[in-house]
Every structure is written in C-alpha cells, then in structure tokens.
Structure 1
Amino acid sequence: MPALPSAAEAAKILPQDPPTILNAYTTLVLAAENAAVEAHNNMRLVQSRVVGYLMLYPPSSESLRTVTMEVDSCNGLGHSDPLQAIYNLGAMYLSHLIILFKGARGRTPAPSDHSSRPSFDRLREDCLNNPQPSPRDHSSAKASALVRDNFRCMITGKVDWGAVRRGLTDRQPREVPAFTRCCHIFPESLGNISRGSTGSKEHETATVWTTLHRFGYKDICEELGAATTATNLHRLENILTLDPFVHQLFDMLHLWFEAVEGQPNVYNVALAPDSTHEELFLPKTVRFASHRPGLPLPNPRYLQIHAACCRIAHMSGAAEFLDSVYQEMEELRVLAEDGASADVLTVAIHRRLADPG
C-alpha cells in the first residue's frame, strides 16, 4: 500500500493558510504512520493513512477543516497517547465512511417472470404512466429508475430482460440483455434509525449522519431523511440502474464516477488501480440522461462523496486491506486465541452498519 506523501510533498497539496494544517499532518499523521510501519501493524497503518488522505484529498473544504480540527485535538489534554488518538480517528472514518459504501447493501429482490397477466398490465401502467420522482420503497424506486433510464443499465446500456419480457420496452437486434439492479449511492441501511431507539445500529447510523453533517453536507442529511425512516433514501437522486456486474464493482469501491467539469451529468468512469476499461468492457465516459421529464438523475454531490471515499480507500490501502479481511471473514470459523483475528473482529463489528438485516 502506498505511503503518505512526505511533509515537503504535502506542502504542495495542502492549503498554506492556516499553517496549522500542514503542522498537524506532519507532527501527528506522519508520526502515526511511521509508528505503525515500525510496529508492522497493518490496521494502524491503514487508519493513519485514511486520516492523511482525507486531509490531502478531502471531499469538501468543510471536511478539511473538520478533519484538521480533529487531528489537532488528538494532541490535546484529553489524550495521553496522541498517536493512538490518530488511529482511533482513522478507525472512525474507516468504519463510518469507507465501510459504509463497501460491501453488504440492501438486497435486491430476485427477478421473476412468473407474475400473472393482470399484474403485468398493472406494472406496465404504473411504470409508463405514473413513475415516481420520490419513490417510497425499493421496488418502486427500481421501477421509476427503469423508466428514467430507458430500461437499461446507465453504464453498459444493456436492456433489462424483465422489462423486455413484460413488454415495457423493445429489445433491438443483437442487443445484450441483463437483469439490471437498483443501486443506491447512499445505502438503504442508513435508514436504520427508529425514533426513540438506542441500539448499536442506531448509534452507528447516527454517527454517519453526524460525520456528513460536520463535513458540510447538512443539506444531504436532510434530503435523505436522517433520523426518520429509510424512505427518502429511495429518491431517484440516490438511485442508479446498473448491470449486476457493474453494481458489484460500484458497491465494492472498484468503480466510481468523477464529474467532467463544464459538462453536466457527464462522468468519467473511474476504476480501481488494478483494473482497465478494456478488460472489463466498460466505457471511459458516460452521460446520464433522463428519458422521462420530471424524473431526476443521480445527484452529482452524492456521487462526489462516494468517489472521494473510493479514492481514499485505494490511496490509503484500505480497499485492499478490507478485501483481505472480508475474505478472511468468509473463511474463518473460530477466532484465533492469540489475538491474530483482532482485525477481522474489528471490521466485522463495524460492517454491521452496511447490513440491512
């Protein structure tokens, strides 16, 4: 995993005013990284680098101010070990930002072609004549997004086979079909807050919303309905129609969208460093277009936050680290008595937030 830029290199990236930004990065974050290297502690190494890259490539100017303030506070009177405080801060961002966008998502119901003819007709009428700009559940979000996206994956252009079978759209000669998926940018699990509840999932979900609020995204928290129910998370601004393979890449932080400056709704399709567009048969650039007036496209700011987390995950080594831990979670049946499974246990605990169950 790549090391953080040196103090001299960071000085070319970080704002010069106030000077405390570079000082916090140099004296605390780089020191934490060096200590983790010397201790051969991969978890701490990732945690320190997540903090460092959040400072170097923040999703917003407000997030830079927030992270800098929190790094500065690690050297305060309340922390007997400033470096451990940096690791704790990195663990919080890892579990409530990076893991939030990675891994388990709301499960898409399995497609079915065995509905009765009257239900086909109702679906056709609902989808074509009454698509919802603000759906209230997963199924209606998928149906409205399909209408908006012309019943096709927004990236590959593959036509939805279920829509073809139901007569909702035509399949062109030699056109490749797929059972498309309804993909949430901010996962459905962020609706895990029930009024008056104080369970662990509610606490972790509230921490995510609080972090986004402190990063300058109060409007997004309000739009997506934090602290109420999951219904606002189904709004079309938070939905993409994707081929299952592309959906998996997006959920695993291996694919994200970077806005092309000066071209509304045009995005570069960014991939993990070990992948190429040619080998995955994916375009390098896409233009999102709504095929039905009144149905909004994915919100560029939602995609911007997802993209920032993807970039930081790969630059910090968090993506590779989490992939290896997730693999070990699948294979591990019993925790090691010598504590060697501590990383797996820590990630497993925080991964609960992404579990819709």
Structure 2
Amino acid sequence: MKLLLTLRPRPSTKQHPIFGKEWATGQNHSAMMYVLLRDGYTCVLTGFEDWSHPQPSDDTPRVRLNGAHILRRAICQFNGSKSYKSAVTTFDILVNFTRIPVKNLEELHERIDDADNGIILEKNAHDGFDNFHWCLKQTETEHVYDLKVFTGGGILKKPENNRITFRDRSNDFPSSSTRKMNRSIDLPNPLYIHIHATIAGVLNMSGAGKFFDELLDIYKDDKGNVPPVRSWPELEDVMEKQLLKETITKQFELVKVQ
C-alpha cells in the first residue's frame, strides 16, 4: 500500500535549482532557504554538501541537494471504482489511526511550509524519505535521532553510528558572509518527525497492507463498492452506518422467525 501525498501547489512556474518549482518564490522559497542555511548546506543523512556551500570540503562529495518536507500535504486519490482503499493510507487517516495527539490538523496544514517542517537531503535520500523507506527515531536526547532503515537501496551513505543530530548551523560561516543570520532558525519539529516515523512503521509493518484490505472489505455494499472517505471520522461514519444496517436486518430476521 502506498501513501498518496502531494505538495501544496503554488502559482510560480520558475524552477529553483535546489528546491524545484514548488519553492521558487515567496514565503515557501524563503522558508526552505532558511532550512538550507540551518542544515549547513549539507544533507542531514549522507553528509554530502550542496554546490552552493560557502566553505566546501575537499573530501566531501558536492551535489545538488533538495529541500524536503518532513510531513507532506496529503490528498485523496480515488480510482474509477471509487474504492477508498487508496485513501485509507492518506495522512489524515493514518495520523488518527495511530492516535498521535495532533489537536488540529488544519493548524498543521497551515504550517506545512515552515522551516521546522523541512530538512535538507540528497535526491536519493529525499525519495526514500518521501516513500517511507527510512525514518528517524527519537532518542533520549533532544534533536538527536537514530536512523531506522526499512528499504536501504537508495541510501548512498549512512551517518556515523546511524545517528543524526540537528543543530542550527546558519552562523557557522565567516562574519563577512552575506549569508550570516541574526537570529536562530527553528530545528525540525520532533512531533513531525515522530508522525513520519509512526506512519513509516505502519506502512512497513508485516502484513499491514493485507490488514487494511481485509478491514475495508467488511464494509462493501451489495454491489461490492464502498463510499470513499477522506478522514478517520468519515471512516467511522461508514462503519456506524454499516453496523446500523446490520442491526436492522437482524431485527427483521427475528420478526420473520417469530
């Protein structure tokens, strides 16, 4: 089962060499430039440096890095049969399924492009992160995480001791640099990283896909279809209606028997 996600669309069509057209102008571009500064022009997983690094190392690969959302905006995509199997693993449903305490998902959506929801990654690492092939597990130390790999084919290099430490590196450069910051930049939000890790765990759980399919098959109508749902409350509503239908049917059967 694959999580169906997309970035928030933006009117700009200009391609940015690091962040792509989604981050080309305006608030989004500024936020991700802050992330690039904060992470020291370096991939947090592989340690590779971006071509724009102001102080490149002689022995470190230089590549084009990507700005990645920790949590990407989710949308539901339904197939022609309108089955909601393709929607069950969307962001909203999984967040509620795993019972992570997010009080208001709309507030989270509004902050989806903030710096604390971004990290800098090499392209292969970015693809693997977006597809939940790997995640970061919290340790007892704040902003320190252990690498958890589910499918490691796209990871070109692992961090030392499989551990990643986030810190604001925006002022690590000479004071003469025009890039020097006068204020700190928010580190990756531990809650967002925890949500990503939890979703990754669910999707990579042994038999998880079969479990979801069997759960949803229970609620098919007489024609084998189930109304699509876009959130956990809608799924619960479908289940309640189906339960009511089954209860009424049983009552009619009891009347007939009597």
One-letter code aligned to 2:101:
Y
Deviations 1:299-321 (A, max 9, x none): 11111111111112111345799
User: Would you say 1:183 and 2:68 are equivalent positions?
Assistant: yes
1:81-92 aligned at under 5 Å gives the runs none
**2:205 alignment counterpart:** 315
Contact 2:124 2:156 (8 Å CA) reproduced: no
Change (3 A) 1:187 1:154: same
User: Would you say 1:136 and 2:27 are equivalent positions?
Assistant: yes
The structural deviation recorded for 1:213 is 6.2
One-letter code aligned to 2:27:
R
How many equivalent pairs are there?
179
One-letter code aligned to 1:264:
E
**1:287 alignment counterpart:** 165
In the alignment, the residues of structure 2 paired with residue 159 and residue 320 of structure 1 have an alpha-carbon distance, to the nearest angstrom, of 41
**1:248 alignment counterpart:** 127
Deviations 1:27-64 (A, max 9, x none): xxxxxxxxxxxxxxxxxxxxxxxxxxxxxxxxxxxxxx
**2:215 alignment counterpart:** none
Deviations 1:205-259 (A, max 9, x none): xx8547746835334625424xxxxx52111111111111110110111110001
In the alignment, the residues of structure 2 paired with residue 110 and residue 318 of structure 1 have an alpha-carbon distance, to the nearest angstrom, of 38
Matched residue SS, 1:173: coil
Matched residue SS, 2:111: helix
Change (3 A) 1:184 1:109: farther
One-letter code aligned to 1:136:
Q
Of 111, 124, 147, 1:269 maps to 147
Contact 1:180 1:243 (8 Å CA) reproduced: yes
Matched residue SS, 1:234: coil
Change (3 A) 1:185 1:100: farther
Matched residue SS, 1:136: helix
Contact 1:136 1:232 (8 Å CA) reproduced: no
One-letter code aligned to 1:224:
L
One-letter code aligned to 2:70:
I
Matched residue SS, 2:112: helix
Change (3 A) 1:106 1:245: farther
TM-score by length of 1: 0.42
In the alignment, the residues of structure 1 paired with residue 210 and residue 92 of structure 2 have an alpha-carbon distance, to the nearest angstrom, of 26
**1:99 alignment counterpart:** 3
1:22-61 aligned at under 5 Å gives the runs none
1:333-352 aligned at under 5 Å gives the runs none
CA RMSD, 1 decimal = 3.9
Contact 2:134 2:152 (8 Å CA) reproduced: no
In the alignment, the residues of structure 2 paired with residue 256 and residue 246 of structure 1 have an alpha-carbon distance, to the nearest angstrom, of 10
Contact 2:144 2:165 (8 Å CA) reproduced: yes
Of 37, 43, 46, 1:153 maps to 43
Give identity over the alignment, percent. 24
Contact 1:100 1:187 (8 Å CA) reproduced: no
Any stretches of 5+ residues in structure 1 without a counterpart?
A: 1-93, 114-134, 191-203, 226-230, 322-345, 351-357
Deviations 1:311-341 (A, max 9, x none): 12111345799xxxxxxxxxxxxxxxxxxxx
In the alignment, the residues of structure 1 paired with residue 200 and residue 14 of structure 2 have an alpha-carbon distance, to the nearest angstrom, of 26
